[in-house]
Structure 1
Amino acid sequence: MTPTSDSPPNRTIRTRSPVRDWEDALISGNGSQGALVHSGPDRTRLTLCHERLFLPAREPLPAPRTAPILPELRALLGRGESRAAAERITALAAGEGYRGTHWIDPLVGAAELALTPDRPVPGPLTRSCDLDTGVVTEELPDGTLHRVFASRADDVVVCEFLRAGGLEGRLTLGTLPEEPPVPLWARADAGTDRLSLTVTLPDRPAGTAPGYTVTCAVTSEGGTVRPDGGGLAVRGVRRLTLVLRTEVAAPGAERPPAPAVLPGKRTGPLLERHRTLHGELMGRFRLRLDGAGPGHGRGADPERIARLVDAGRYAVISACGDLPPTLQGVWSGTYDPPWRSGYTFDGNLPSALAGLHPTGTPELMPPLFDLMDAFAEDLRENARRLYGCGGILLPAHASTSGRHNHFGPEWCLTCWTAGAAWVARLYWDHYAYTRDRAFLRERALPFLTEAAEFHEDFLCADGFSPSYSPENTPADGDGQACVNATMDVAAVRDLARNLVRAHRVLGLPGARRWVRLAARLPGYRIGPDGCLAEWAGTAGPVAQTDRHAHRHASHLYPLWYERDPAFADPRLAGAAARAVRARLAWWRGQEADEMAFGLVQLGLAAAALGMSEEACEAVSLLAERYWRPTMVPTHNRGRILNVDIGGGFPALVAAMLLGSAEGRVDVLPALPREWASGCAEGLRARGGVVVDRLEWGPDGVLVDLRATADGPLLVRMPDGDRRIRLTAGGTVRLRGKLRNG
């Protein structure tokens, strides 16, 4: 083996890029509390955020009662009248209160904390973020040092200012500096050792949160701190320590919470407790990638790719609390975030969560399952009202409720029925990676069952009608409503297969029911161009021909997780490979803003097919286009803070290094020649397998495997298959060559 260094990678981000707005911030978060640190020469500033602070802007309505017109909708789709079907849904919904798009409640920033110096400090700031501790540091040209972290141990944001010559300025805590979409009543209070902000929502819909409180405990060393018109005047203070907490009232409460009683104000113990928890999560996975040398590298620098894996994991770990990450994680510096920054289930949220299992942080997944529990009655109501079906129907967008509220004549999202089946795969994977049989029996099986019960009732002689392939329109169609989107077929095939496996693992009867469901599903289709078709069947006179110039790649779903057994057929595998190349050719020439996670979808499919160069190109496009100088991921090219590729990018890199299915792991299934050598520590595989170390280089491959339970394992090494047996807690080391011969 080529010698490697065991020294940990440098996980500190440094930048001197200017701050234009809150999206240029460095981020810190403990899952529940978030801090955006975005100072400038005129003030040192951070925006405080909370995972539950969805502004109750509109009362959620029940999903429209379209079940009685389902035969009419199916007839329209059978005649190829896609737009007419979507407009019929919209017209009916208008009579039930849906006039125009009904947006979800937005995730908003709680408050802005600012220390404004008596005199601005010109010149660029030196800014850094230590990913292993979550500490953000800013150094001003006058020597002022500003440190911030969100403590996972104490559920507070800690902010420290230091200046040898003494701080001179005014400390304030207030609401965001923009007009809110609904009335806010804000009251700021100041004392020598505290600031507080209480925000009440006087016109909120019934049963929603009445407001929130931000509390700031203040400790100073040297100089003086005194109340000054709702803020604090700071004079000659060498060290100013602030401990802050945002608390959001429970829905239906009478008033905002009282100001919090905060933990001890010494920074050292607070940081040490937090460092232990956050650092342990970050330390579960480490990656080093080395390039192929001069003249051989294409695409993004391998070292940058490894650093972005760390940065992506940091963003998602910092955004997983009692709730899963929204589009923007746990951060928002506005009252009007893009797409209201809720949970987007038809791509963004699954991408954000995709790296949690393969990089070793499965305990961050249950917030998704808790959210599904909270939405359960709404999901059942959606199924009944929209389609007259049992089971559950998950909307594409949600925040404070699971009601199917967001749709329109173009974005006909009520036609998307695969959401619960997709989330069911995340339930199954949680079992597959952890081998937690109690979770499988008590949480996964009930959810999978209800997701499948919907499709038992919904499937008709034509298959899935209505259907929807997220955001794409057939090239010969006039709307997005369709019949038999390949994603729907694939997600429900996967759901039925996993239900059969769950019954077998738990020794329960009833699996034949799900075999019968699988038998009712349409098959996959290969289009005239030889690509895997995005629509598995026609809609009457409309052939539903592919349109590869699109940012989603939903028809490649059968390859994102465990490869659908149907793709053992070389014809289907070849068609999928051609579909990857067709979409990638479009992405290659894109200069306009397009969402990032579609490249994750392409890359995962390429990795599953062993298409190493195509997977590498997807990684390179992601690395070169979708990150700010702060290494915070974005939705569009360099703009719109968004955490979906924060999970998707590490998941894609991990999939290129390790594939897995029940009873099998694939070592380096899509290793590009650009990654000539490297080392990954802490990869995880389905079947409860942990890859403590995977190392490769010109001299060969080394892999250390262990498992949580005894059992046989097929290991597909680059130079051939090995059949081994793992015992719980024991380690097996395998060596091989990078290529046969």
Structure 2
Amino acid sequence: MIDGVNDGWEDALVTGNGRQGALCRGGPAALRLTFSHERLFLPLHPPRDPPDTASRLPELRDMLRAGRYAQAATAVWREAAAADPRYAETLWIDPLVGAATLTVRPRSPSAAGPVRRDVDPETGLVTLRRQDAAGTVCLSAFASRPLDAIVVRLSATGGFAGSLRLTPIDGAPPRRYVSDVAVTPEAIMLSARFPEATWPGALSGYRVHCRVRGGATAPAGVLESDAVLVIRTLLPGDPDPEPPADDFDALLAEHAAVHGELFGRVHLDLGAAPAERTAATADLLAHAGEGRAAADPALVERLFDAGRYVIISSCGALPPTLQGVWSGTWTPPWSSGYTLDGNLAAAVAGLLPTGTPELLLPVFDLIDRVRGDLRRNARRLYGAGGVLTPVHLSTHGRQNHFGPVWCQTFWTAGAGWLARLYVDYWRYTGDQRFLHERALPFLRECAQFLRDFVQIRDGRATFAPSYSPENAPAGTGSQACVDATMDVAIARDVLTNLLALTGPEEPDREGWRTLRDALPGYRVADGRLAEWLHPDLDDQPAHRHASHLWPLWYEPDPLITEDPATRAAARAAVRDRLAWWDTAEADEMAYGLTQLGLAAAALGMAEEAYRCVAGMATRYWRPTLVPTHNRGAIFNVDIAGGLPAVVAAMLVRCAHGRLDLLPALPAAWPRGRVTGLRTRDAITLRELRWAPGMVIAELVARRDTPLVVTAGPGRWSGVLPAHQPLTLSWISRRARGDAVGMTVTP
């Protein structure tokens, strides 16, 4: 339960079915729902050609190798602006915007009290209740997956009486916008056009169709009885909806069966007290207070569920934007598209381990739709084959957003990062068709770009230009650089995976192997894993990103984990970044704690990983169960995916033929139970239970899988048979009085 009267869209409760969303809020005078659609990107300007800098690449590389980093970044910007004056200012992607707001004004004989607000993550049902002298007015809403619509029930003691008004969202659109509203006894329709968006592929407009069932509306939108509303945002080409049923409970049950099955695949129990589990989220957050290093188990459980709810609700035909599937503004921060240097990866990080792999497919569908643009980026910027992603993406994939400071044309690792998601989808699901038809073709294009772009000088691969999002080496004054650790780590991952997944008949194997073998190892500087491999580039640990830790976020790179010195340096890098996060200025970009938490879990740094979870939980979540980008500001879904991902990584790790149970279990979680987690090698952890001195796990694999399983000092090695559950139990000598070991139950 959430009490309050804050009527801003960023303080709303959310419901969504992936394609359509609703922000639900209100105060004593009115209740409001703002509708959104996953494809409603405001058409700001047509896509432009990426800068044609391939011919200047030798010159740019000479500048970078001479240490003239800012000059190189400025040269790209000036070249682009000379060819197209519109590049003189930073060009943003088309932003995700809200479609319309429905305002419900109950007719009240007296002043109403505060609005009580509730959201049920298991069903997606949002409820707003307003109390006055005449009784209770209730608005219930959910975003139906089967119906692809927002369904609303208006009811009141003695029957609802009041008015409905459908309007564009608040504020002034940055592009010419024309709308009109028509009201009939059975529906309210808002039609909107963007008359200046005349280029091919531009969104010309949309409609919001609100059908009223059970209570006729007069021309002024007046209701005189309880009613069910069915609202759809329709884009050009969408068919007119069939008249829906008006049985709210039946429609909710139909939706809850689909949504609830997704949500219910994983359950987390960290041993929270029953009274804490029923406490209001606001009370749990208030109890956490200023705690940057601790969070009650009940709060972590609550936000683990809340995060999964938000991400499930914003995965449709497209993946979640920075704001999921919701928007209440014409000018969202960073245009609320897909930011590929960290945000999107954080938002979807929990989908595979929490058992919802099908919700990751929209990422690959998005990339498929813009593949031609990614190839054009590679050709025009670097004269290379293969694919090159922009940092920001929404309605197209061309590299249009950059400048002399944010020199994002120099970031070449985005496609390789996405390639790891392709590989992991196969590793978690075992889907061979996906591997051969989607993953391997994309990896081959990533490798083609690397072979054309990366230079081998004196037997060593070099990356110039390079970029470590969004940091600058100390003392250089520029984000432009050479040999960023992230670039090298991602290249190694792409090439290693290709060599492992293809056979000797593959014609490009020798080229891949030659390039992989030329990649430099990791650099240690001042006892830390360095963010740049070039010896003249010094680290800047006081930063929100931790991109040099990328090789620990997925399958940890053995070059780090199996070398004691490099492993120790990586641990030092985690601690240095965490020290910065403990400072007052580190209250922006919450998903930086996701990056650190995944790295800490991979290194077995239980307390550091827990500090990351606690930091996300206590500093970046609203009582509405929606997270923020900065502390207390900016509606944002990144850590809705990131927090569950870090918790899952602390409880189970599967990489390189080994599955570790509780690899980073903190002291704050001495006992618990989780069901439904998934791991690489297509293994499902049906149940994992632990208590002091005891671990019990039930595993089932999709195929026969040779595996080493560890739990504390316990170890089991064998073949996990396909589709046959296997229970492993470890009880310590102290708990049982006998030898330490694993007990296996077929």
| TM-score, normalised relative to structure 1 | 0.93
- The 5-angstrom pairing of residues 156-555 of structure 1 reads 156-207=149-200, 208-220=202-214, 225-228=217-220, 232-235=221-224, 237=225, 239-249=226-236, 259-290=240-271, 299-460=294-455, 461=457, 463-504=462-503, 510-527=508-525, 529-538=526-535, 543-555=536-548
One-letter identity of the residue aligned with 1:18: V
SS of equivalent to 1:728 = coil
State the shift of 1:55 in Å.
0.6
Superposition deviation, residue 290 in structure 1:
2.4
Conservation of the 8 A alpha-carbon contact between 1:56 and 1:205: no
Q: Name 2:598's counterpart in structure 1.
A: 604
Aligned 1:626-705 pairs, distance under 5 A: 626-705=620-699
| 8 Å contact from structure 1 (residues 312, 649) kept in 2 | yes
**Counterpart AA for 2:265:** R
2:61 counterpart of 1:74: yes
Tell me how far 1:172 sits from its aligned partner: 1.1
Root-mean-square deviation (Å) = 1.8
Q: Hey, what's the Cα distance between the residues in 2 that align with 1:46 and 1:58?
A: 29
Write the deviation string for residues 347-404 of structure 1: whole angstroms up to 9, x where unpaired: 0000111000000000111111111110100000000000110100001101000000
Q: CA deviation at 1:638?
A: 2.0
Instruction: Give the Cα–Cα distance (whole angstroms) in 1 for the partners of residues 499 and 8 of structure 2.
Output: 51
Question: 2:370 aligns to what SS in structure 1?
Answer: helix
1:38 to 1:458, Cα distance in 2 relative to 1, 3 A: same
* Equivalent position SS for 2:302: helix
Instruction: Name the counterpart of 1:137.
Output: 127
Deviation at 1:739, TM superposition (A): 9.4
Task: Give SS of 1:631's match.
Answer: coil
Query: 1:269 Cα shift?
Result: 2.1
- Matches of 1:613 and 1:599 in 2, distance apart? 13
Q: Within 2, Cα distance between the matches of 1:314 and 1:171?
A: 29
Q: Distance in 1 between matches of 2:206 and 2:239?
A: 9
1:520 Cα deviation after fit: 2.4
Q: Distance in 2 between matches of 1:711 and 1:269?
A: 43
SS in 1 for 2:158: strand
CA distance in 2, matches of 1:268, 1:117: 22
The AA in structure 2 aligned to 1:286 is: H
Q: Deviations over 1:105-164 (max 9, x none)?
A: 000000101112345743211101000000000110130011000001110100111102
Question: Is the deviation greater in 115-124 or in 495-504?
Answer: 115-124
Output one character per residue of 1:152-205: Cα deviation in whole Å (capped at 9) or x when no partner: 111010011110233232211111121111111112111111111111110004
Which secondary structure does the structure 1 equivalent of 2:218 belong to? strand
SS of the counterpart of 1:623? Answer: helix
CA distance in 2, matches of 1:597, 1:291: 25
Task: Tell me the residue number matched to 2:21.
Answer: 34
**What SS class does the counterpart of residue 113 from structure 1 fall into?**
strand
Aligned-residue identity in percent: 50
The CA deviation at 1:720 is 2.7
The residue type paired with residue 583 of structure 1 is R
The residue identity in structure 2 corresponding to 1:343 is Y
Aligned match of 2:31: 44
Q: Do the aligned partners of residues 246 and 262 (structure 1) sit closer, same or farther apart at CA in structure 2, a change above 3 Å counting?
A: farther
Please report how far the alpha carbon of residue 522 of structure 1 lies from its aligned counterpart in structure 2 after TM superposition: 2.3
Cα gap change, 1:508 to 1:83, in 2 (>3 Å): closer
Matched AA of 2:129: E
Does 57-66 or 163-172 show the bigger shift? Answer: 163-172
Q: 1:509 deviation in Å?
A: 6.0
Deviates more, 1:689-698 or 1:516-525: 516-525
Is contact 1:106-1:341 (8 Å) kept? yes
Partner SS state of residue 355, structure 1: coil
User: What secondary structure, in the 3-state scheme, does the structure 1 residue paired with 2:83 have?
Assistant: coil
- Distance in 2, matches of 1:523 and 1:458, equals 19
Cα offset, 1:20, TM superposition: 3.9
The answer as to whether partners of 2:273 and 2:298 remain within 8 angstroms in 1 is no
**Cα drift, residue 19 of structure 1:** 1.5
- Mind listing any 5+ residue stretches in structure 2 that lack a counterpart? 277-290, 735-739, 741-746
Q: Does the CA-based 8 Å contact 1:24-1:38 persist in structure 2?
A: yes
Counterpart of 1:702, as a letter, is I
**Unaligned 5+ residue runs, structure 1?**
1-13, 251-256
How far apart, CA to CA, are the structure 2 residues paired with 1:739 and 1:623? 36
Report the Cα distance in structure 1 between the residues aligned to 2:501 and 2:5, rounded to whole angstroms.
53
1:620-662 deviations in Å (ceiling 9; x for gaps): 1111001011110111112211111111110000000000114
Contact map agreement 1:215 1:259 (CA 8 A) in 2: no
Bigger drift between 164-173 and 127-136 goes to 164-173
Partner SS for 2:102: strand
- Amino acid corresponding to residue 64 of structure 1 in structure 2: P
| Aligned residue identity for 1:596 | A
Any idea what the Cα deviations from partners look like across 1:651-692, whole Å, max 9, x if unmatched?
000000000114221100000011010001001010001000
Q: Secondary structure at the match of 1:165?
A: coil
Cα deviation for residue 570 of structure 1 reads 0.7
CA distance in 1: counterparts of 2:395 and 2:420, whole angstroms: 23
Note the C-alpha offset of 1:707.
Answer: 0.3
**CA 1:659 to 1:695, structure 2 compared with 1: closer, same or farther past 3 Å?**
same
Q: Would you identify which runs of 4 or more consecutive aligned residues in structure 1 move more than 4 Å?
A: 291-294, 506-510, 738-741
How far does residue 79 in structure 1 lie from its aligned partner after superposition? 1.4
Any idea what SS the aligned residue of 1:167 has? coil
Aligned-residue offset at 1:594: 1.1
CA contact (8 A) 1:63 1:386 kept: yes
User: Matches of 2:696 and 2:550 in 1, distance apart?
Assistant: 31
Q: 1:61 to 1:616 in 2, by over 3 A?
A: same
| Contact in 1 for aligned 2:698/2:726 (Cα 8 Å) | yes
Q: Is the 8 A contact 1:327 1:643 kept in 2?
A: yes
Query: 2 CA distance for matches of 1:699 and 1:507?
Result: 50
Aligned length: 707
Output the CA distance in 1 between the equivalents of 2:576 and 2:554. Answer: 21
Residue number in structure 2 paired with 1:115: 104
Pair 1:656–1:292, CA change in 2 (3 A): farther
Q: Deviations over 1:586-638 (max 9, x none)?
A: 10123553110111111111100000011111111111001011110111112
Report the residue type matching 1:730 in the other structure: Q
Looking at structure 1, the residues matched to 498 and 246 of structure 2 have their Cα atoms a distance apart, in angstroms, of 51
- CA deviation vs aligned residue, 1:34-66 (integer Å, no higher than 9, x gap): 000011112111000000000101111111101
Letter in 1 for 2:16: G
Whether the 8 Å CA contact 2:124–2:143 is kept in 1: the answer is yes
Q: Report if aligned partners of 1:217, 1:265 keep a CA contact under 8 Å in 2.
A: no
Contact 1:484 1:522 in 2 (8 A): no
1:530–1:511 Cα change, 3 Å: same
| Aligned-partner SS, 2:170 | coil
